[in-house]
Amino acid sequence: MDLPGSKTKIRLALAAGLVILALAPLAASAQMVDLGLAYAQSTGLPNLDVRQIAVSIIRCLLGLAGFLLVLQILKGGFLMMTQGFLSEGREEAIETIKSGIIGFIIVGISSSLTDYIVRTVADAAGMVINNYL
């Protein structure tokens, strides 16, 4: 048993719901959202893309790793000079120098590979590559 006019009320409610669903995104896009970018620029923060920041961080970490490996090689050389011809100390110094050189080669390959991947992805994405990338 249908009540008189119940189908009309259901149709009217459905039509009103569809109109609200259709117009809701327009109301949401009309609002201006302040993301704080103007404040960030006024404080002197860089206006860089997240990908550029990530590449800069990776390059800094690879540079730091290279610096630490040079220090390790210098430590091995110092051990070699101070131990003289003692077999125990000399073996330790040689292992330290070998480890430093192998690590330095790995960091060099990693740096070259990172540079190649970043440039390839940037070219594919149409991103402008600055000199520091």
pLDDT tens digits, one per residue of 13-72: 888 888 887 777 766 665 566 666 677 677 777 777 777 788 888 889 988 999 999 999
Helices 50-83 & 87-125 angle (0-180, nearest 10): 170
pLDDT at residue 133 is higher than 60: no
Q: Is the pTM of this model over 0.75?
A: no
pLDDT at residue 101 is higher than 90: yes
Higher pLDDT, 68 or 89: 68
Confidence of residue 102 (pLDDT cuts 50, 70, 90): very high
Task: Answer yes or no: are the C-beta atoms of 129 and 119 closer than 8 Å.
Answer: yes
Q: What is the pLDDT of residue 131?
A: 54
Higher pLDDT, 39 or 119: 119
End-to-end CA distance of the chain: 74
* DSSP, res 107: H
Chain centre to alpha carbon of residue 64: 17
